[in-house]
Structure 1
């Protein structure tokens, strides 16, 4: 259908085409092609289904199962196709234009036409075996898009300008010789509200004509009771006519019967005793206070019911005239306007009954009186009420919301036309103003109807509540109610609760029903985006932006539930920046598939979304609880020690706990690790956010002793890999430039615990002239490395623990296979490799500034506690590693134990960690055992160890044999 504009004289198009065909032929060329392709796609799906049926016919069980599932799958495919098509055409709509740009409005009307085309295609492809309720729902959605399109076409700046010009000129151009049609056109041109009313009436008429019950079916029962035969309409009240003739024959009279004739009242009666009319003119019943024969009464009821249906469906006067002429009751056509004569131009307008008010006001008054006459048939009164604009006379016959709306808007349009005619006559008689000032819209009828309708059952059907909002143009109030209901329903049922904050505001009951229907949610989301782009929701968004955007978030939640992840960024881009980042982050945090991540990244770039801010949002959402726990820590870490002391009463070194970092991370930990993997996509400007987040996650895991998660974090989020991917540099190999002392002092003075843990460093800056380290400008290697320092050191600490754990796994394996010399001898190579890895990683621990250069005061407290908890264990475990290697590989490692003691003694950071943690005694005992072992090894130099008995296995490999090499101090193990 072409963009709906004021239909003026002609109203609804008169043709015999089905509604779907008429709409699709008049779409914009581009959208016509899209619709055809959509239809082709549906055809292909159905063809495949047919082929499946043939192939499955050999198996009755398989065929039966597929026969049951195929309709459900076909429906799901149609819904999925429709969802994708909506996203596609919406994505093509450029909304970033001024709201008064006429091209924006034209494109918006084309977009609404495309939405109608998509729904129409779905309706065409919907199987007739689907439930009638579903078919009606699909059709109503298609019709509603046309209604919105029609209303917005009248609201466009261009039409408003034309209306304003008409208000200043059209009334002055009218003369006493102006015809009814000219007056009607001038009225509509000058009154934008009446244009809305006419558009809504036209839509209601067309909907009833295309989807209503056929008129023959409506009056079939009444026709049967009229006893005239199937499909036969005899002219007039034939049974009453027969009774009148009988009386005339009895009285041998050739003149018309007079109701006052003697004896007539007693003999001229109906079977039930009611007095029959003596004459057969149309008003005889009311004039004589008599009745027709029952068959004629049913015929009369059917006739008025048919008449009402004709007007309700917007049939033109020539159609109505032809109908009654065929049935030899032309007088009924005269009821339409008080006259059987009309011009050919007016003959084709369904608004003839209103136009005639200008030239026949007396007939309007007479119809008003008849519409209130309770002695008349209710449909007869409804017809007169429709002609005169009496709402109450139609109420008894209105069966649907659409019927009530038609009666209301019909009355409102007639009322406004009468007001215009008054201005017209005033201008003619007293040289009044030639500028027409339309009256404000009347809301009395609609408010009363709304109060009654919201308690009914029909309004609870999908789209009906939406229809009421559209016809009253209460877009802002309706969308706000839907947004609040979306929050309420999301936190009741769970769908979308992670995208929408809970709202304590009471939610409208009907809005909650709508929010639970996916099709309504989709309609509301796309309607809001169109209205928002046209600037029609500015005040609503200004006061309630979050609630309004809930409608988009609710639809995104449905897309997520349906697995339509590729469509989500299209709608996220329509949200405000902060809300969009939050919504997308809430979804991405649950995506683990690599291909899906890459697709989302591509779409994020395509829609120019801020990947850095989204990545930070993913992190905060996934780790909110951990951040809060870390923020409220009081005291040392709750993590257990990574080492185990020797058996009670037996001297020996500590050992790393068995399977310390083994196992799988919990679901919560896995989600947390996935959240920081997104930082591989940030840019150098936001690198500080990545460094802050990953280091915070390390601290949280270390504080709570989540060692399996720490190993995964170390493997999957290494600084070298992430930095190379994000900023193109491996920041592990960088020289960190320290800030000048005065800058460091400023940083220490201005940091704030609340800011660090609750707000991203890239989001909030300190009110200081010197930025925080993480927000410092500069994309050079040194600056980026400085931001990554804590991340690097925490990663090194976890790598040390991981190396020690790996060494301990080999030791435990050797211990379990001690009786197998061949296996043990082969494992010594792996043991030496594991030891080399530990020695390489442990070097970071000997840096006096290791974990001693926090970026703020709170981080200093956390790092202090982590040093005192983990460094003593790492040193003791490393010493134990050397101690074991000194016995299993070479006593040279026992010498390394002595070197380790010297390094601890001369390193203030290491010494302080043992002293403050109260573990100096353990360290002294460990080094004492080292000295004792080295002394024993020297005493046994040159001596051969005794062999054990065969049944005890070969323990020779656990003894160290030494050989002298002159003055050479190097010692190496003998195999």
Structure 2
């Protein structure tokens, strides 16, 4: 993921929409209070965004022809056709995302409520028995933050259930077995018909149960079980008799529907309408005392506190001791706050959590209701009518949510769903265990990133604990999950930053690498944004990270950008995001320089002169392609550090740092023999271009560079005050000197190629020698800085690295230069050979620093032999004039003559080599 690879990502508009919503929360023009308010409201925007996408995705499935209501989600998954499966997966993923943001939007404002928001404006209700159910519930929720949160979770679970299949569809199979066609009303049709038939057969006009016992023994249903004799609602439990089998299915379908309405938080009006359609209004009445519906704005029947307390206990008795069906007992178990009876029909993770949260909230409310009853009434109710105490049943209040979540994870029936990443994230938020969850999520992503090699963006900090269940967390290739969990981390990080810390209830002890691991989630998301072609969003998310991680993540992501215009745009976005641009570019270049390694690796002795014998035409041949056989190819690490210097140069006032850091990079490249990388550095960031950029002048004089006043003016113009002119002058001198070496070597490599080509050409090929002359001229210009005091000021100041570079490169480079002049002298003009003799004189000067470098390298013999070969070539040269880039006029002014070394012969005279 760190190599700049691009994948075929299916990026939806939600990526940018999420970023825009976040950006609106962090405007520098907002006060801290306004930022905080917008951040708390952010999950609502994400929720609405996900709902809109879900609504757009759902019609796709209907258009595919598989809209049959009998087909559930599991069947859709297994249907033939990849297209259908993909659409079904998309819908399922969106449903999970909607649920996640719905949960967070409900809980975040409660957990980070301001002190003012915690006190409701409604007047407090006096403690008397005149309070009604509506008043009591509102007052209870207003007085207990924990109850408000549990109520919010309960409403979330109700909302999730409400998005499920239609209730009538759930009961359809039961109604088919009820054998009543399309009739959904009028109660127990089959049992009524049997009772009526019994009366007709026995000519009995009264109640059947008043007949003789032996007659009653024969009053059975189709299965041979005793049949009820009356049709009132509690006849089954009162008489201990059965219905006709078909009516038992109908009864179960009715109770299933009632339970689903309660489970989904339906209002009393919805429940009444549903029961009225089935002529079962008595059921709605029996359930109407306290529904805890999802919509709190719907009015409910008002009851006195003592009535509510008694009603709850009656429901509990029915749940535990009455009822003819599991669904009937579950209905009254739900209303009474029982757990066992509700869990008996639970199918999914949500159902089990609902059973427990419903019980906890109703237990809390029951305690509140009893506190509003007269003491004698409270005593009578508690002593004579048992109720279920979920708070006591579930143990110590502190951490009860976490224990519930972990128990669901360990149960076989809910384990698979509990360890699904979206559900695990929801569970962590409910259990106030987000810190641990995000920490372990980061560890999993780090492990993914390092699975196939060391990751730079997500470096491995510690091994994953064996207790971490990896399948609970999103992997790096789950793009939607990565986006969701990244924004959850953003929310938690921003809420820490802008105050209002939630009450700590988790006993999670943060490990040392907590922040690093959590921030790795966002680091992974920025890599996704880069691969998705949305680098302009990266600075926004990096602003959430702490320094220096934010600079590191920015650096690794933006280093791939090569377009100067885009780089300038990124720098503007970085500044807008509140990130220090100067610190970013400083950190970036240090980061990539350090990534090269602690020190330059050892290399073989620098050698570009061939080992073969000297030839009259070339002297010693220069090795071809000594920069590398693949021109322009450098390692990604080398290229990154060069790009980081380009970023540094783009920021006003940082050009002086380019000299200092560029010198370090040059040193590393040259000491490790990375000539290709060094050449790319001078091609991308040349000394001349830097000076032109900051001085505004196209041409400058070399003498200016040795003038401290010149650098002082540039520093003043750039408003740089942290460096002295003398310091910048020294750094610039070294940078320029190392660049000169690389340019000279680059020119010599060109000459080496020309040497090879010339062997296949005729002696006077003007098409070849014309351009070759220009190459020779360039090499002469490049070599000039190396021939007098090259790097010596810094070496005398104690720079050991430059001493090593001088010792390693200068002798070999000068020998190659001599070969280049030899080649030019025999191929172009012997004036080049004369210049070689001038070089010999320069080396021989008393003040020359060149002979010492050859003496120290024990290569004086090679130098003498190279000069001797040139001298010999000059002696036998024909003097034929060829196109040349040599400055013959200048040489004549210095006293040189073509005839100086010409060979003169006469009859009987020996050849004399020397001045005439």
What range describes the TM-score normalised by the shorter chain of this pair?
Answer: 0.7 to 0.9
SS at match of 1:170: coil
Matches within 5 A, 1:598-747: 598-615=568-585, 618-619=588-589, 622=592, 626-630=596-600, 633=602, 637-647=603-613, 653-661=619-627, 663-665=629-631, 667-669=633-635, 672-682=638-648, 683=651, 686-687=654-655, 689-722=657-690, 724-725=692-693, 734-736=704-706
- How far apart are 1:792 and its partner, in Å? 1.5
* Aligned 8 A contact 1:663 1:708 in 2: no
1:239, 1:697 → 2: CA distance?
Answer: 93
Q: CA deviation at 1:865?
A: 2.4
Per-residue deviation, 1:907: 4.4
Cα displacement (A) at 1:718: 1.0
Structure 1 residue 795, shift from structure 2 partner: 0.7
Matched, 1:388 2:388: no
Partners of 1:618 and 1:966 lie apart in 2 by: 53
Structure 1 residues 98-141: Cα deviation after superposition (integer angstroms, max 9, x where no partner) = 99x55334322443332223223322332334523321321342
Distance 1:968 1:309 in 2: 108
Change (3 A) 1:725 1:380: farther
The CA distance in 2 between the partners of 1:273 and 1:363, in whole Å, is 36
Structure 1 166/419 Cα, relative in aligned 2: closer, same or farther at 3 Å?
A: farther
Partner SS state of residue 848, structure 1: coil
- Between the aligned partners of 1:157 and 1:142, the Cα distance in structure 2 is 23
1:214-268 per-residue CA deviation (whole Å, 9 max, x = no partner) reads 11111111111112211x1242323223333344444443332337842144311
Residue by residue, what CA displacement relative to the aligned partner does 1:353-380 show, whole Å, maximum 9, x if unpaired? 9x77642423322221221238731101
Match of 1:176 among 129, 134, 159: 129
Contact persistence 1:301–1:379 (CA under 8 A): yes
Residue 151 (structure 2) aligned to one of 195, 198, 212: 198
Query: Which secondary structure state, in structure 1, belongs to the residue aligned with residue 544 of structure 2?
Result: coil
Q: Cα distance, 1:595 vs. partner?
A: 5.2
CA contact (8 A) 1:174 1:183 kept: no
Give the direction of change, closer, same or farther, for the CA distance of 1:427–1:87 in structure 2 (3 Å limit): farther
- CA distance in 2 between counterparts of 1:293 and 1:883 reads 117
For residue 559 of structure 1, report the CA deviation from its aligned partner: 1.6
Query: Which residue does 2:275 correspond to in 1?
Result: 324
The offset of 1:586, in angstroms, is 1.3
Q: 3-state DSSP class of the match of 1:304?
A: helix
Distance in 2 (CA, whole Å) between partners of 1:492 and 1:374 is 58
Matches within 5 A, 1:145-544: 145-158=101-114, 160-163=115-118, 170=124, 173-209=126-162, 211-230=163-182, 232-258=183-209, 261-337=212-288, 348-349=298-299, 358-373=306-321, 376-425=324-373, 442-443=400-401, 445-452=404-411, 456-461=415-420, 463-492=422-451, 498-506=457-465, 507-513=468-474, 516-535=477-496, 544=514
Cα offset for 1:689? 4.6
Tell me by how many angstroms 1:699 deviates: 2.8
Note the C-alpha offset of 1:304: 0.6
Tell me the equivalent position of 2:858: 918
**CA distances 1:734-753 after superposition (whole Å, capped 9, x unpaired):** 535799xxxxxxxxxxxxxx
Q: List per-residue Cα deviations over 1:776-829 (Å, max 9, x = no partner).
A: 96456543232233221111111222233334444444443125x3x24x5554
Q: Answer yes or no: is the 8 Å Cα contact 2:457–2:523 preserved in 1.
A: no
The alignment covers a number of residue pairs equal to 820
CA distance in 2, matches of 1:931, 1:336: 116
Cα distance, 1:140–1:649 mapped onto 2, change above 3 Å: closer
Distance apart, 1:732 and its partner CA: 7.1
CA distance in structure 1 between the partners assigned to 2:238 and 2:611 by the alignment: 115
Report the alpha carbon displacement of residue 916 of structure 1 after superposing the two structures with TM: 2.0
2:93 alignment partner, one of 125, 137, 147: 137
In structure 1, what is the Cα distance between the partners aligned to 2:542 and 2:797?
35
Q: Distance in 2 between matches of 1:691 and 1:487?
A: 36
Offset of residue 85 of structure 1? 1.3
Preserved CA contact (<8 Å) 1:643 1:655: yes
Q: Give 1:576 shift.
A: 1.5
Report the equivalent of 1:903: 842
How far 1:385 moved relative to its partner? 0.6
Distance (Å, rounded) in 2 between the aligned partners of 1:968 and 1:153: 89
Distance 1:514 1:878, change over 3 A: closer
Moved more, 536-545 or 112-121: 536-545
Larger displacement relative to structure 2 (684-693 or 784-793): 684-693
Q: What's the CA shift for 1:870?
A: 1.5
Change in CA separation of 1:95 and 1:192 when aligned onto 2, cut-off 3 Å: farther
8 Å Cα contact 1:372/1:381 also seen in 2: yes
Offset, 1:882: 3.4
- Conserved? CA contact 2:542–2:553, under 8 Å: yes
Indicate how the Cα distance of structure 1 residues 581 and 453 shifts in structure 2: closer, same or farther if over 3 A, else same.
Answer: farther
Q: C-alpha displacement at 1:394, in angstroms?
A: 1.1
Contact 2:54 2:91 in 1 (8 A): yes
Q: How do 1:30-41 residues align onto structure 2 when only pairs under 5 Å count?
A: none
Pairs within 5 Å for 1:109-120? 109-120=40-51
Q: Could you say if the C-alpha distance between residues 929 and 518 of structure 1 is closer, same or farther in structure 2, counting changes exceeding 3 Å? A: closer
Secondary structure of 1:372's counterpart equals helix
Conserved? CA contact 2:592–2:644, under 8 Å: no
Question: For the Cα contact (< 8 Å) 1:680–1:726, is it kept in 2?
Answer: no
Determine if contact 1:148/1:470 at 8 Å carries over to the other structure: yes
Matching residue within 800, 815, 819 for 2:744? 800
Indicate how the Cα distance of structure 1 residues 733 and 525 shifts in structure 2: closer, same or farther if over 3 A, else same.
Answer: farther
Q: Please point out which of 782, 785, 803 is paired with 2:729.
A: 785
**Inter-CA distance 418–545: structure 2 relative to 1 (3 Å threshold):** same
**Is the CA contact (8 Å cut-off) linking 1:556 and 1:571 kept in structure 2?**
yes
Aligned ranges 1:884-903 → 2 under 5 Å: 884-903=823-842
Match of 1:551 among 506, 513, 521: 521
Partner of 1:88: 20
What's 1:872 paired with? 811
Q: Which residue of 2 aligns with 1:584?
A: 554
> What displacement does 1:610 show?
4.2
2:794 aligned partner: 853
What CA distance in whole angstroms lies between the structure 2 residues aligned with 1:568 and 1:549?
A: 14
Structure 1 CA distance for aligned equivalents of residues 635 and 247 of structure 2: 83
Distance 1:224 1:335, change over 3 A: same
TM-score, length of structure 1 as denominator length: 0.75
Give the whole-Å Cα distance in 2 for the aligned partners of 1:606 and 1:719. 31
Is residue 734–residue 782 contact of structure 1 (8 Å, CA) maintained in 2?
no
Q: Secondary structure at the match of 1:290?
A: coil
Contact in 2 for aligned 1:589/1:671 (Cα 8 Å): no
Looking at structure 2, the residues matched to 616 and 967 of structure 1 have their Cα atoms a distance apart, in angstroms, of 51
Structure 1 distance, partners of 2:321, 2:104, is 38
